[in-house]
């Protein structure tokens, strides 16, 4: 089956601009999570969407927002970009077990965002 796809793969933006990243999950996966990864920082959780609703949110400022569409595709938006937003943004999709656990996340290749 097709994997998780993210577009674009690379992006260069200027401070103050905004950016929208897109994620297409594996067919049948209804949970989509977004992460920020920087060297030495590990995975920082941004938010998770499940059935078009934000189920969980990490400790990021309100400049970071997201949404999920009825086909489970998800977008992430960052407004008023700062230099510190330069990072790899990973999207992961998963099947949700009957009890609610998002099982075995499949990660996309990521979008490398550079803010200058």
Residues contributing to the site for other proteins (CB under 8 A)? 33, 41-45, 48, 55-56, 90, 92, 99-110
Nearest distance, CB of residue 19 and other proteins, angstroms:
20
Question: Is the CB of 15 or the CB of 55 nearer to other proteins?
Answer: 55
Question: Is the CB of 19 or the CB of 90 nearer to other proteins?
Answer: 90
Q: In the chain, where do the E strands start and end? A: 5-7, 10-13, 19-24, 31-38, 42-50, 53-57, 64-68, 74-78, 87-96, 102-107, 111-115
Nearest distance, CB of residue 67 and other proteins, angstroms:
18
Q: Rounded to the nearest 5°, which phi and psi values hold at 28?
A: 95, -15
Nearest distance, CB of residue 73 and other proteins, angstroms:
18
Question: Is the CB of 12 or the CB of 101 nearer to other proteins?
Answer: 101
Radius of gyration of the chain (CA): 14
Question: Is the CB of 59 or the CB of 70 nearer to other proteins?
Answer: 59
Quote the CA–CA distance of 29 and 25 in Å, as a whole number. 6
């Amino acid at each position: 089956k097709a994997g998780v796809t993210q577009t674009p793969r690379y992006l260069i933006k200027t401070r103050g601009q905004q950016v929208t990243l897109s994620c297409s999950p594996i067919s049948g996966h209804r949970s989509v999570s977004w992460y920020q990864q920087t060297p030495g920082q590990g995975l920082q959780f941004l938010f998770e969407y499940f059935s078009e609703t934000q189920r969980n949110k990490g400790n990021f400022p309100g400049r970071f927002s997201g949404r999920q569409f009825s086909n489970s595709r998800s977008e992430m938006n960052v407004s008023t970009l700062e230099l510190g937003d330069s990072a790899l943004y990973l999207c992961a999709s998963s099947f949700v077990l009957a009890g609610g656990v998002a099982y075995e996340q499949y990660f996309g290749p990521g979008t490398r965002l550079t803010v200058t």
